[in-house]
């Protein structure tokens, strides 16, 4: 199956988010996207992509330990770069899903040569994957755009196979006492960029919301990592099927 985008009605911030990405310098050419997470050293987000490369490699190594074939869903796949890298795993079938039509169009165009990869426009409850069951569901740099961590994980759980796992990476988690200050920083950031409305679509998650799930931390950044420009400062969480 070639990479195709299924046209489903998207959620509210579909128009706002691409404009923000452009302002942040995170809209990539087709050629740049094809090679991500590798990018030119003089690119303004080079350091960020070094972090993303690190987490991508760890995730692929972990998944390769599971006997194939593997069925993997990336929820909030954006422009599809990670889904394309996961499709390099032998015996894998990858689905990327997102509400961002603009980036999915590019993903379809750039990665349509990958036979074991497809893209779907919509939410995790899209009818195209209603009956699907996955070995792994990945939230990479996307969990902060879901208003309820507990709700989205519960929805994802229903789409796992009996021994399936949910993986969350490249996103911040906060202690309850840290959330108010983080919300203020986020609000200031979006206002400075001219996108104050984005504060309504960005949520500050706490691992406390996962207390009812069976989860473990596969990677916990050290204090030095959090200060480094090139080391990944985000935890990697694994939630097992209950």
State residue 7's pLDDT score.
37
Is the backbone peptide bond immediately before 37 cis, with ω within 30 degrees of 0? yes
State residue 223's pLDDT score.
61
Which range of residues forms the domain containing residue 125?
5-240
Q: Give residue-wise pLDDT tens across range 110-129.
A: 999 999 999 999 999 999 99
State residue 230's pLDDT score.
61
Complete edge-to-edge strand list for the sheet that includes strand 70-75? 5-6, 117-121, 92-98, 70-75, 134-140, 160-169, 236-240, 214-219
Q: Give residue-wise pLDDT tens across range 66-95.
A: 988 999 999 999 999 999 999 999 999 999
State residue 14's pLDDT score.
79
Query: Is residue 50 over pLDDT 50?
Result: yes
Query: Is residue 1 over pLDDT 60?
Result: no
Instruction: Report the number of distinct structural domains present in the chain.
Output: 1
State residue 4's pLDDT score.
47
The rounded percent of the chain whose pLDDT value lies above 90 is 87
Query: Is residue 16 over pLDDT 80?
Result: yes
Q: Who has greater pLDDT, 60 or 242?
A: 60
Beta strand spans in 42-159 (E):
70-75, 92-98, 117-121, 134-140
Q: Give residue-wise pLDDT tens across range 166-223.
A: 999 999 999 999 999 999 999 999 999 999 999 999 999 999 999 999 999 999 987 6
State residue 53's pLDDT score.
96
**Which CATH number belongs to the domain containing residue 80 in this structure?**
3.40.50.150
Q: Which of 104, 224, 239 is nearest to 169 (CA)?
A: 239
Half-sphere exposure of 174 (CA within 13 A, CB side): 14
Q: How many Å apart are CA 151 and CA 134, to the nearest integer?
A: 18
State residue 8's pLDDT score.
34
Mean pLDDT across the chain, nearest whole number? 91
Q: How many Å apart are CA 233 and CA 93, to the nearest integer?
A: 29
Q: Who has greater pLDDT, 228 or 11?
A: 228
């Amino acid at each position: 199956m070639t990479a195709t985008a299924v046209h489903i009605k998207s959620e509210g911030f579909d128009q706002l988010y691409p404009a923000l990405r452009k302002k942040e310098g995170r809209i990539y050419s087709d050629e740049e996207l094809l090679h991500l997470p590798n990018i030119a050293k003089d690119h303004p987000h080079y350091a960020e992509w070094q972090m993303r490369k690190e987490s991508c490699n760890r995730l692929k190594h972990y998944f390769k330990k599971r006997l194939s074939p593997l069925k993997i869903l990336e929820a909030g796949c954006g422009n599809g770069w990670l889904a394309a890298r996961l499709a390099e795993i032998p015996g894998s079938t990858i689905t990327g899903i997102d509400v961002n039509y603009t980036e999915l169009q590019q993903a379809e165009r750039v990665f349509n040569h990958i036979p074991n990869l497809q893209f779907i426009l919509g939410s995790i409850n899209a009818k195209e994957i209603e009956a699907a069951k996955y070995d792994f569901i990945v939230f990479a740099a996307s969990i902060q755009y879901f208003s309820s961590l507990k709700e989205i994980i519960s929805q994802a759980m229903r789409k796992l196979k009996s021994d399936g796992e949910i993986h969350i990476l490249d996103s911040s988690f906060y202690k309850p006492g840290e959330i108010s200050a983080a919300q203020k920083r986020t609000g200031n950031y979006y206002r400075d960029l001219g996108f104050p409305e984005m504060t309504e679509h960005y949520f500050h998650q706490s691992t406390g919301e996962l207390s009812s799930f069976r989860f473990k931390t596969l990677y916990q950044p050290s204090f030095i990592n959090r200060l480094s420009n090139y080391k990944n400062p985000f935890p990697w969480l694994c939630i097992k099927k209950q």
